[in-house]
Structure 1
């Protein structure tokens, strides 16, 4: 009879590292180190409407805490489009002050 081992099933993403999650954690740590200061965290270029939509979506993701790195109410984020058409995402850490 073949030998088997009973063990709990690991999570579906076990062993994988999501680059976006790692980047979000690193950005959040940098923002926490300088509370209240706005920082440019992402730039979107290309089709203006698409870039604006992507930047606004990312800012909303931060504000609503959809990423664990950015707990709800601890970060502010805004998207702004420059005259050149490039869209930037700015964020800052505000701590628990927003709650």
Structure 2
């Protein structure tokens, strides 16, 4: 698909305006109002719902291995999950996952 320079800049501008309007709807319009308790209760689950959708493809079908499951990434995901479950601390969980990934990549070559 060939796009001219003007079409590319128009697309960038429209996407920028769209994302601005989506953010403004939350920050500018309802940002100074008290949100109902049921909305706040549901918003607490947003990271828990989004994060697995972002991480699962990177663990199960990594591009680095042409989509084949990789023992190093599976071990890192398991280590991050276990440490996160018991410590309830994202920093320790991420550090365990990163450390395990680097160690497993070094061990497995």
| Higher relative contact order, structure no. (Cα contacts within 8 Å, ≥ 6 residues apart) | 1
Global fold match (TM > 0.5): no
What TM-score range do you get, normalising by the shorter chain? under 0.3
Q: Which has the higher helix share?
A: 2
Please identify which structure carries the higher strand content: 1
For normalisation by structure 1, the TM-score amounts to 0.26
Larger Rg: 2
How does the TM-score come out when normalised to structure 2? 0.24
